Structure 1
Amino acid sequence: MWKNYSESYLKHNRRTCISIMMAVFGAMMFLSLICTMAFNLWKYEIERIELEEGGWQGRIISELSENDIKKIQQFKNVERAELNEDLSDEKTVIDIYFKNLRTIYSDMPGIARYLGVEEEEIQYHVQLLSCYFITDPQDKEPPLLLPFCAVVLFFICLSLILIIRNSFEISMRARIRQFGILSGIGATPGQIRTCLLQEAAALSILPILLGTAAGIGSSYAVIKAVNHFAENVAGRHPAVFQYHPVILTVSLFLAAVTVLLSAWIPAVKLSRMTPMEAVRNEEGLHLNKRKRRTVLSGIFGIKGELAGNAMKAQNRAYRISNVSLVLSFLSFALMLCFFTLSDISTRYTYFERYQDTWDVMAEIKNTELADFDRTQEIRNLPGIRDSILYQKAEMRISLPREWQSPQMLALGGLEALTENEVEKDKQGNDTVISPVIIMDDESFLKYCREIGASPGLDGTIILNRIWDSKNSNFRDRKYIPFVKENKTAAAAAEEIKMREIPILAYTQDEPKLREEYADYALVQFMPLSLWERMGAHTGETTTYIRILGRQGIDLEGCSLIGDGIEKILDTSYDYEIENRIRERISNEEMLQGVKMIIGGFCILIAVIGIANIFSVTLGFVQQRKREFAQYLSIGMTPKDIRSVFCMEAFVTAGRPILITIPLTAAAVTFMLAASHLNPEVFLREAPIIPVAAFAAVIIFFVGLAYFIGGRRVLNCDLSEILKDDTLN
């Protein structure tokens, strides 16, 4: 059977065989490339988080002992528990690592109860856990970036699998009539099935292996290129190429299953048909009576009727092509829209927000603000317009109901805004977090004058505002007063013996610092001299220097200020210096790298769609030569047939676009709602031109495929086709 039929078929149909092999090679190369790149990006993100924030998964901050660490390690799912000496100061910080991360949100509360600590004293490494698709069950707005990328990756991989499926589908469907003849002369379904599987293996094994190797090599080259372009990006660690056997196993398994099913399905279909039915099987047009006219027939008459019937008769075959085109176009559009939203969000929430707040930031580690003695030297540096030295601390303040503002009480009080996540003290009063910004005395007095308060160093200034989460969102926050402004003193936390702190002023304006405060916190600004008199401790030994350069300062000016600070601090301090303009340039360079990667994926998606267009559209046009010969025999002209081709091309290209547009609009609406971004802002920067260009590419290549196929059909001897029953 193999020598008499399969070997002869492969030898006399080299064009078809080469087409299948190229489709399998291309699909496997892109599948391997995408899976490998996705794995490397995922591993890189995990490495970045662990380098910047540590690899801990759960954390307990409380008054604990070494014996408690041993107790934690006795839990079945705990891999290890370690004392974090860098953070442990007044309280013990224990980092916990788990064997099975899936149960961390149920295990951590159990550990806390066993140790007798409050749930408020446990922390989760949310960003790291989200990389493993683990989110807090109580979180109403979990991170969506990784799930979104996973969905896009699934769509792309499915499109690639369909390329392989399509290539075999076209070849097998064209040969059902031949299989019927073989069945009629005595070939059994088992023999034909074995024959088809042998052909599929012969055509697929080498392209699958070569394509997989080419994809791995391409991903290695992409990572090297990304490292080259991003080598000057500050704070970035180089990406290291990694590969996992699971990727190889999954990609080879998917390819093998696809090839197997592609060869198996026609044989199963044939086994259900009699030899006569198989011989009579034709892929041409079958005119059926219709109860209602189609849109094409209503507009274009009989030619539209023929095109509509042809599309319906080939509906099952074109279904795979439609799905592939929809997936390609949808993945392209969603990817562009998502990263456009991400870019807008980053720009609005960071760079534009802080562009007039700081130019140079210095963090001096292991140094109390009171012990820093080089303040004046830094302020005397040329090019500095304003500078503030500060340190951060945190209190917990008891807030009686009579202290809360009428506006907040009208909304239901602090409990309503925080959705009942408020601690209570022994008297039943609300306990709120109160971040304290300890400023150098000179900066504090200047801040007093800026807000219109009487300058003084014997009290604190309250940032009297709280986010009205009932009537606004985090993107466009509206604030209301937190407390009544008729109070003159506030009780501090227990660690400073509930001492009353005089309140100099209430304000809605914060000083220009690069700080983000908790949503429902009562922020205080305090002079250093008062903090020292209170005898309190910050719990943090980092001093921050915020510097605002001269008006219109450029990168060179910021660099000169940074160099001056480095000379002053020399080797006496452990410090880090950030340059806002350099950071913005680095971010833009990173974005360019990301856009380059995204652009590569978009080109890849375009290639996937185009490959499907040619493999399906061109294949089925060639397959329908007998149908077009029948049209000519009843008096249609080549021009009429070209018109039918144009209508089919229009429907083939237009249907995926019409399906994708509402799906993309729905997805963008969901993303806008989740990010609380004004739709008008997105519409001003929406990637309309790239999406429209991609749609134009689809239309062009569908038309090109029909043009090439139609010309081949019309240039051959159609009268001979009606008599052609050969097997080759």
Structure 2
Amino acid sequence: MWKDYCASYIKNNRASSLSIMVAAFISTFFLSFLCTLFYNSWISEIDMITLEEGDWQGRIVGDIDEADINTIQDFPNVKRVLVNEDLSQGKKIVVDIYFNNMRTIYQDLPQIINKLGLEADAASYHSLLLSRYLIHDPSDKEPPLLLSFYLGVLFIVSFSLVLIIRNSFAVSMGARIHQFGIFSSIGATPKQILACLLQEAAILCVVPILLGYLLGIFACVGALEGANYIAKDIAGRYEGTFCYHPLISVITILASVLTVFFSAWLPARKISKLTPLEAILGTNKSMLKRKRNPRILSRMFGMEGELAANALKAQKKALRTSSLSLTLSFLGFTLMMCVLTLMDISTKHTYFERYQDAWDVMVTVKDTKIEEFDYTDKLRGLEGVRDIIVYQKAKSIISVSEDWISDDLVKLGGLEKVAGKSVTKSDGSWLIEAPIVIMDDEAFKEYCKEIGIQPKLEGTIILNEIWDSINSVFRYRKYIPFVKENRATINLKNTEKNQEADKIPVLGFTQQVPVLREEYSDYSLVQFISQSLWEKISGQVEGAEADTYIRILSREGVTLEELNDLEDNIAQLIGTAYEIESDNRIQNKITNDKIFKAYKLVFGSLCFLLAVIGIANVFSYTLGFIYQRKREFAQYMSVGLTPFGMRKIFIIEALVIAGRPLLITLLLTGIFEVFAIKASYLNPMEVLTKLPILPILLFSLVIIGFVALAYYIGGKRLLQCNLNEALQNDTLI
């Protein structure tokens, strides 16, 4: 009997059945697409990090022998240990460690270090890779939260998608309480009614769920191919490849099936709590337990405002799902747009605006020492070269005694107060990083002239500044003198052997750096020396990086074509003798803009999906919400309410239904913006002037428009019904 009834109901109620099928398809499709896209983006991010920095998780550097390696391997959580031959030099062995459970790495690695008898700084963590697995340093007060944010948005969107199915079933099942009440009165049990509803749900939703699941996967494949096509001209790009995990299918299908099950089960549970007479008479309809005078709407809109407010209060529980869905969709949209804006501002601050005048072409000469590079003069003679610096970088440390620290630093509480754990103390003095920038002789002389020092090659120029971390933030750093400018010589130490080199004359102290695309540590004493001096002390200091760099400035207002030609000329001149990599400023900016546009396209598409999800939820529920109120409006008309008054009620309800989620979302977005601005230390006015107000405003208008459209269609259908007949039928039952 129930099979015949199900088949008959589906056949005779095609609109309602089609609504449920479309909802199941849309929800499963977007759920499958978003989960698959997020998984592929996550895997691509890990692959890029692994490709650029390696897949190691923990690393130990020190005097390590075979017995130590066996000790590490015997540690319970260690999966495997590899000696990094590329980074190991002499007795300084670099060991890469992989763990069975990465989540305990910040507890396990210090224990390994203690067991080996090494200092704490011998251990390092692949923090970027670990953060992609949501593993953060417990001592980090500001861990990266971007991935957590994306997961939060994904959860919000997924929950909103599930609500689409729930809303469609709520509209259909809510209209059938009366019908199932009749069945209950003639002996149907709640279990039989539940079996009937589950049969209908299975017939209507199995095919749409499977179809939506498969099409969501194909849509993700298409999106990845589209992203690869957009980025095909970007040099050095990572080409994303499609990958899939069985857990995605479990999440997608299980979420959809469970939603369908509970959407069918809840009406049966509701009926089981009603007596047959209550179900038939419809006395379960939502009513206000305590009638209150809605002052705001009644004062603004009169009697119609009061009726609309009471109707919304009476249907508060029923509307809660739809409002929540709309709020979540709008919240996801606005947060995505705000994150894009913050990313754009941050990128400009940290790179393009900071270094836009520091370089036009950068060339990296692979595995070449600066003293072995013989083309400096020839490069200076190339057409289009205005200025050139050939340089190499090296590491060293310097001992800074308490009496050498500047008075400004002492006033702030001393070096430990300003730098914290970034500096270490040994034998009463501070061991400070002293990175060395080795410049070709001609460029070093020019640098001396720029800062007002007599050009000499036998000496160092010290960058005498330290970040005042107490009175400024990293985004807008203020600097004070690090040391007193009263030293004629210094002793640089070898970072590997901790041995002092010969005394080096100090040519001068400065707060002006040479024009290079370099970023220096906040708590270091950077040394700028000539190539000639380096050739004399390199055997004592060591620590030089493998590559040499060439910074080239061209004429003012140079074009992309000119920089491309200059790159080609450089490649023809030195490309046959050395292995080089080069890029130019304009092409770098174009590439970054393309990448950011691709980000905007991806996030914009996601935001569009969020809009569709929210609108679908509102549209489906609002139509059902209006159409089920025939008896209510029949009663209004019986006491003299005109069609104009009914339309006014609809307009008020539409404004409340659309406006409330918008106001809640804007409040939450405002809180997020305050938190994000504070966390990123950006100037609030700078962020406020670039907020995506227009997209958010357009999205708000679209939501209001579609809610109004849903009310227009529902109201038109309602007015076309014979409301007197509806009232009479309900009275006769």
Separation (CA, whole Å) in 1 of partners of 2:576 and 2:127:
36
Against the structure 1 CA distance between its residues 360 and 330, is the aligned structure 2 distance closer, same or farther, given a 3 Å change threshold? same
Letter in 1 for 2:35: C
Against the structure 1 CA distance between its residues 553 and 283, is the aligned structure 2 distance closer, same or farther, given a 3 Å change threshold? farther
Q: What is aligned with 2:523?
A: 520
Superposition pairs of residues 48-447 of structure 1, within 5 angstroms: 48-90=48-90, 91-281=92-282, 286=287, 290-425=291-426, 427-447=427-447
Against the structure 1 CA distance between its residues 58 and 287, is the aligned structure 2 distance closer, same or farther, given a 3 Å change threshold? closer
Say if 2:654 is the partner of 1:649.
yes
Tell me the alpha carbon deviations over residues 442-498 of structure 1, each in whole angstroms, 9 at most, x when there is no partner.
Answer: 111110000001111111000000000000000000000000011111121155534
Letter in 1 for 2:34: I
Separation (CA, whole Å) in 2 of partners of 1:287 and 1:240:
56
Q: What is aligned with 1:39?
A: 39
How many positions carry a matched residue from both structures? 725
Q: What is aligned with 2:696?
A: 691
After alignment, is 411-420 or 691-700 more displaced?
A: 411-420
Tell me the alpha carbon deviations over residues 530-557 of structure 1, each in whole angstroms, 9 at most, x when there is no partner.
Answer: 1221233234221111111111111111
Say if 2:505 is the partner of 1:502.
yes
TM norm structure 2: 0.97
Letter in 1 for 2:65: S
Q: What is aligned with 1:606?
A: 611
**SS of residue in 2 equivalent to 1:62:** strand
Separation (CA, whole Å) in 2 of partners of 1:184 and 1:484:
96
Superposition pairs of residues 515-664 of structure 1, within 5 angstroms: 515-534=518-537, 535-536=539-540, 537-664=542-669
Displacement of 1:284 after TM fit? 6.2
Residue 631 of structure 2 contacts residue 730 of structure 2 at CA under 8 Å; is this kept in 1?
Answer: no
Displacement of 1:228 after TM fit? 0.6
Tell me the alpha carbon deviations over residues 66-99 of structure 1, each in whole angstroms, 9 at most, x when there is no partner.
Answer: 4432322221211211122222225222111111
Letter in 1 for 2:510: T
**SS of residue in 1 equivalent to 2:86:** coil
Tell me the alpha carbon deviations over residues 541-577 of structure 1, each in whole angstroms, 9 at most, x when there is no partner.
Answer: 2111111111111111111121112112233322211
Say if 2:9 is the partner of 1:9.
yes
Displacement of 1:514 after TM fit? 1.1
Separation (CA, whole Å) in 2 of partners of 1:644 and 1:299:
12
**SS of residue in 2 equivalent to 1:419:** helix
Tell me the alpha carbon deviations over residues 595-634 of structure 1, each in whole angstroms, 9 at most, x when there is no partner.
Answer: 1111111110110011011111011111111211121122
Residue 395 of structure 2 contacts residue 543 of structure 2 at CA under 8 Å; is this kept in 1?
Answer: yes
After alignment, is 85-94 or 254-263 more displaced?
A: 85-94
Tell me the alpha carbon deviations over residues 140-185 of structure 1, each in whole angstroms, 9 at most, x when there is no partner.
Answer: 1111211111111111111101101111111111111111111111
Separation (CA, whole Å) in 2 of partners of 1:293 and 1:58:
63
Separation (CA, whole Å) in 1 of partners of 2:681 and 2:303:
51
Displacement of 1:7 after TM fit? 2.1
Against the structure 1 CA distance between its residues 339 and 283, is the aligned structure 2 distance closer, same or farther, given a 3 Å change threshold? farther
Against the structure 1 CA distance between its residues 642 and 492, is the aligned structure 2 distance closer, same or farther, given a 3 Å change threshold? same
**SS of residue in 2 equivalent to 1:164:** helix
Separation (CA, whole Å) in 2 of partners of 1:160 and 1:105:
37
Displacement of 1:707 after TM fit? 0.3
Separation (CA, whole Å) in 2 of partners of 1:277 and 1:492:
91
After alignment, is 381-390 or 63-72 more displaced?
A: 63-72
After alignment, is 195-204 or 283-292 more displaced?
A: 283-292
Displacement of 1:287 after TM fit? 6.1
Displacement of 1:237 after TM fit? 1.7
Residue 285 of structure 1 contacts residue 627 of structure 1 at CA under 8 Å; is this kept in 2?
Answer: no
Residue 461 of structure 2 contacts residue 507 of structure 2 at CA under 8 Å; is this kept in 1?
Answer: yes
Residue 59 of structure 2 contacts residue 97 of structure 2 at CA under 8 Å; is this kept in 1?
Answer: yes
Equivalent of residue 722 in structure 2, options 701, 706, 717: 717
Against the structure 1 CA distance between its residues 291 and 601, is the aligned structure 2 distance closer, same or farther, given a 3 Å change threshold? closer
After alignment, is 279-288 or 249-258 more displaced?
A: 279-288
After alignment, is 634-643 or 324-333 more displaced?
A: 634-643
Displacement of 1:275 after TM fit? 0.9
Letter in 2 for 1:401: E
Residue 460 of structure 2 contacts residue 508 of structure 2 at CA under 8 Å; is this kept in 1?
Answer: yes
After alignment, is 633-642 or 2-11 more displaced?
A: 2-11
Residue 166 of structure 1 contacts residue 612 of structure 1 at CA under 8 Å; is this kept in 2?
Answer: yes
Against the structure 1 CA distance between its residues 586 and 666, is the aligned structure 2 distance closer, same or farther, given a 3 Å change threshold? same
Separation (CA, whole Å) in 2 of partners of 1:629 and 1:655:
28
Residue 288 of structure 2 contacts residue 313 of structure 2 at CA under 8 Å; is this kept in 1?
Answer: no
**SS of residue in 1 equivalent to 2:396:** strand
Displacement of 1:319 after TM fit? 0.2
Segments of structure 2 that go 5 or more residues without pairing to the other structure are none
Residue 422 of structure 2 contacts residue 523 of structure 2 at CA under 8 Å; is this kept in 1?
Answer: no
Q: What is aligned with 1:666?
A: 671
Displacement of 1:507 after TM fit? 0.3
Separation (CA, whole Å) in 1 of partners of 2:193 and 2:295:
40
Tell me the alpha carbon deviations over residues 300-319 of structure 1, each in whole angstroms, 9 at most, x when there is no partner.
Answer: 22211111111011110100
Quick one: percent identity of the two aligned structures?
A: 52
Against the structure 1 CA distance between its residues 335 and 590, is the aligned structure 2 distance closer, same or farther, given a 3 Å change threshold? same
Separation (CA, whole Å) in 2 of partners of 1:199 and 1:365:
69
Q: What is aligned with 1:455?
A: 455
**SS of residue in 2 equivalent to 1:541:** strand
Against the structure 1 CA distance between its residues 291 and 721, is the aligned structure 2 distance closer, same or farther, given a 3 Å change threshold? closer
Separation (CA, whole Å) in 2 of partners of 1:270 and 1:652:
28
**SS of residue in 2 equivalent to 1:685:** coil
Separation (CA, whole Å) in 2 of partners of 1:508 and 1:216:
56
Q: What is aligned with 1:474?
A: 474
